Structure 1
């Protein structure tokens, strides 16, 4: 059923998909973070990133991002959605005891294909396109690409409990709820 929805959305809305392009990395990261800011307006706890934060984040992530494990959805050349994640570098960070110098950085980035776990950090779609199936189209590209890369396990970051559309899509695709985090407000005094 999901495959039909994905193909129908791609055909009906003429969605074009592409990965982040290393030659225009800064521009693509800026595009992604702009989508991130616009797509999460009105979401509980969300604070938009500033231009400075976007620039700093792009610089920090450049060596860690695997372009094949990212995706930008465009309609008529306009970016309307993106998915992005990172390989799970945590076991390697533990091995180098968090020390990047003098050789830790090389050990961290050596043989990225040896990392078998992936964390999908965000799938963001502009609000006016959120019910068009674009999120499913993005995930439909991401998951086969991750399998081809050699990923054996994926985590889908946090999905708000009241984000019924995303939760239902992930559950229909076979994702299992692993952790639930709760925040409570309690006035002291």
Structure 2
């Protein structure tokens, strides 16, 4: 009779281990036609404290599961010092730690990995675990529980259905759902939205402008200031820091197009913004994670003048003092309409995706409903007392 397999969980301790950590996702998801293999170079940078600005205020430990010496699962356990200072009623606060980047060959390995992450968090004095969050709340929070039948857009996660049962089997309870909405952007918006936009265009106090890419740092600072104010009362909010903004700027600058990012000014003051990105996933999916030997040339050609099916709105915000006013929705509708026009005429896009949006964010849900968009993906964040 053969001996049962030996399963071990060990911390990632070297560059070779980090490569194994990254490579596992490609093997476990290779059979899913809707999974988008990220560029391996970017996946490696995301878990490298020297190359990810999030680590300036966070600490993480990666773990590998091995069965008879072969990698069979992975998970990260991490804490964010800024999240620990946030009000508990907003979801985080003292004692809250996280785990993410979770994948495994089977339920047994999955359970062992979650238990290991919990032990690490307890050792750091954490009393509650939230997951999956991979790794910053601004990166890929939540587990996909609806929308397996199509590929995610840029900066969104995609997970195998069985992970849900493994997480819930470890006694985790849902705490928040994050929604994305899709819509046909070749169609004009309903008449009431068109009237609101037209009224805004007649209002001399309002100016909706494109960003100026030649002043990238200045524009980014304006957007960051609005974002940190607009989102400050939201569930799960952690302020973005300058090192994180610098990292995002480096990664996204090649797909920043001036007519797809708008800043709304009221009486000359920037009060709202909307960021729209061409869906880079459409370009990188065929590359299978590598720019070699010719992937780099294909990607550079695409970046020169992207033509894509989908545009994604990852972030928009209106300063807090306007959020309950009619002006807030008017500014949002104007930015959405102006970007819709550019997306369809210049980039030949036909589909838009907005999100993620908190399921209880009534203002944003109302805007999504008004432009007749529909929920296409749902991500769930879970919690557990340690």
Q: CA deviation at 1:102?
A: 5.9
Instruction: From 221, 229, 247, give the equivalent of 1:30.
Output: 221
Q: CA deviation at 1:44?
A: 0.3
Q: CA–CA distance in 2 between the matches of 1:156 and 1:139?
A: 10
Q: CA deviation at 1:162?
A: 1.2
Query: Per the alignment, do residues 106 and 15 of structure 1 end up closer, same or farther by CA in structure 2, a change over 3 Å counting?
Result: farther
Does the 8 A contact of 1:89 with 1:108 survive in 2? Answer: no
Give the secondary structure class of the aligned counterpart of 1:121: strand
| Per-residue deviation, residues 43-95 of structure 1 (Å, max 9, x unmatched) | 00111111222222222211121222111111222211110021111132122
Number of equivalent positions: 188
Give the secondary structure class of the aligned counterpart of 1:63: helix
Q: Which has the larger radius of gyration?
A: 2
Structure 2 unaligned spans of 5+: 1-191
Does the 8 A contact of 2:264 with 2:272 survive in 1? Answer: yes
Does the 8 A contact of 1:85 with 1:118 survive in 2? Answer: yes
Q: CA–CA distance in 1 between the matches of 2:312 and 2:301?
A: 19
Does the 8 A contact of 1:86 with 1:119 survive in 2? Answer: yes
Instruction: From 341, 344, 349, give the equivalent of 1:147.
Output: 344
Q: CA–CA distance in 1 between the matches of 2:336 and 2:349?
A: 14
Q: CA–CA distance in 2 between the matches of 1:114 and 1:136?
A: 24
Q: Which range moves more in the overlay, 165-174 or 41-50?
A: 165-174
Richer in helix (by share): 1
Instruction: From 138, 158, 161, give the equivalent of 2:359.
Output: 161
Match of 2:273 in 1: 82
Does the 8 A contact of 1:30 with 1:58 survive in 2? Answer: no
Q: CA–CA distance in 1 between the matches of 2:292 and 2:269?
A: 41
Give the secondary structure class of the aligned counterpart of 1:42: coil
Structure 1 unaligned spans of 5+: none
TM-score by length of 2: 0.46
TM-score by length of 1: 0.89
